[in-house]
Amino acid sequence: MNSFPEIINPVRILSASDKISQTPAFVYDETVIIDRLAALSEVRTNSGCKVLYSIKAAPLGGLLQTIIEYVDGFSASSLFECQIAKEIIGGIADNKGTIHITSPGLREEDVKSIANYADYISFNSMNQWQQYKNLVNGKLNCGLRLNPEKSFARDERYDPCRKYSKLGVPVSRVANENLQGIQGIHLHNNCESNDYTELKQTLEHICELLDPELENLQWINLGGGYFIDDAEQLHELEKIIKDLKDKYTLDVFIEPGKGIVGSAGFLVASVVDIFASDGKQIAVLDTTVNHLPEVFEYQYKPHILQEDPEGQYEYRLAGCSCLSGDLFGDYHFQQALEIGSRVTFKNVGAYMLVKASMFNGINLPTVNVLKSDETLLMEREYSYEDFRNKY
């Protein structure tokens, strides 16, 4: 499921990796993020939409400071994400940007606090809207999350429109609901796609069912789940948004996350042991799948910058935890690995860091940002105190 474009500069990343004194280390390449944001800025200019960054992909403060200069705000999924979004936006002289939130599990105390940080809220169900509308009326611009009932995700685990979905009000039922006070709708029904014709099909379905209701709304949030790696497809996105805005008087938001930071993230690890097991060379790294949890969750083999499919040296790369399944896969290299050799996983910028754990008491990687001028800045270093205080 790791289908990012090759927009990275391997020489630049490997050079930065050599500067890292201690591994494991996450590295975010600022130039890749800016490249993705520039593509989105063109979409925004050509279509008239507004771009939000989905904080859940990577909430690193240094990245958010860079990203906010190119977007119209942030989308959040929790109170804490709203708070960090407000810190970033509030720290700008002109208080640039708005904060949008949707979540399937809001509590009353959450909603009361969210009203102090967010600008838009999309309720996940009619029940939550009825329960909390009096708390937020006049404070937040209120919307409703829809389940478009159109599935495109290949893996049901990540399909927001799967059977018995918990995410959003089924669009087939919305026309029968009382939408008084609802000012917008939010939808998100895809995962790791670069085919915007799927979005077009979704909107055609929604417009067919909700045409009168859309006339009375102020905005629509088209969600995320799409990569930003194909110019032709981005032109298709522009056309979809322009057609929507021509038909209805709506503000249109999009909220990519992984599409912005996914291909910008790398994990640098070092080999700490090499031995033979049943005739296969095992290379143990100083990192673990618990630092790249989506590798285990999705059961995919992560890509490595140093990998060469034609290389004569083959190793099974293993993590350093006691979990027997802590394995990254079999890889070929042009040169034999040694104790201390560096291995750099690529396309791991989204969801890995936020899901990483200290299982077995293994420390988390440091977090670094590679700036446009080649400066490598350490944003975060973890310690025993982080482990002790977590539990």
Q: What is the DSSP letter of 193?
A: B
pLDDT for position 239? 95
Length of the chain: 391
Q: What is the DSSP letter of 51?
A: E
Which amino acid would we find at residue 328?
A: F
List pLDDT tens digits, range 41-100: 999 999 999 999 999 999 999 999 999 999 999 999 999 999 999 999 986 656 679 999
Q: Which two tokens stand for residue 200?
A: 């077009």
Decide: 26 and 353 in contact? Cβ < 8 Å: yes
**Once rounded to an integer, what is the mean pLDDT over residues 172-188?**
91
pLDDT for position 91? 64
List pLDDT tens digits, range 371-381: 989 999 999 99
CATH class of 48-256: alpha beta
pLDDT band at 342 (very low <50, low <70, confident <90, very high): very high
List pLDDT tens digits, range 199-254: 999 999 999 999 989 999 999 999 998 888 878 889 999 999 999 999 999 999 99
pLDDT band at 5 (very low <50, low <70, confident <90, very high): very low
**Among residues 63, 64, 65, 67, which one has the least CA distance to residue 51?**
67
pLDDT for position 6? 55
Return the CATH number of the domain spanning residue range 10-27+262-390.
Answer: 2.40.37.10
Give the whole-angstrom CA distance, residue 185 versus residue 214.
Answer: 9
Give the contacts of 34 (CB within 8 A, at least 6 positions apart).
66, 70, 372
**Among residues 349, 308, 314, which one has the least CA distance to residue 329?**
314
Give the whole-angstrom CA distance, residue 240 versus residue 148.
Answer: 16
Domain boundaries, the chain: 10-27+262-390, 48-256
Same fold, 10-27+262-390 and 48-256: no
Residue 138: left (phi > 0), alpha (psi -120 to 50), or beta? Answer: left
312 burial (CB, 10 Å; 0-12 / 13-18 / 19+) is: exposed
List pLDDT tens digits, range 360-373: 999 999 999 999 89
The larger pLDDT score, comparing residue 25 to residue 196, is at 25
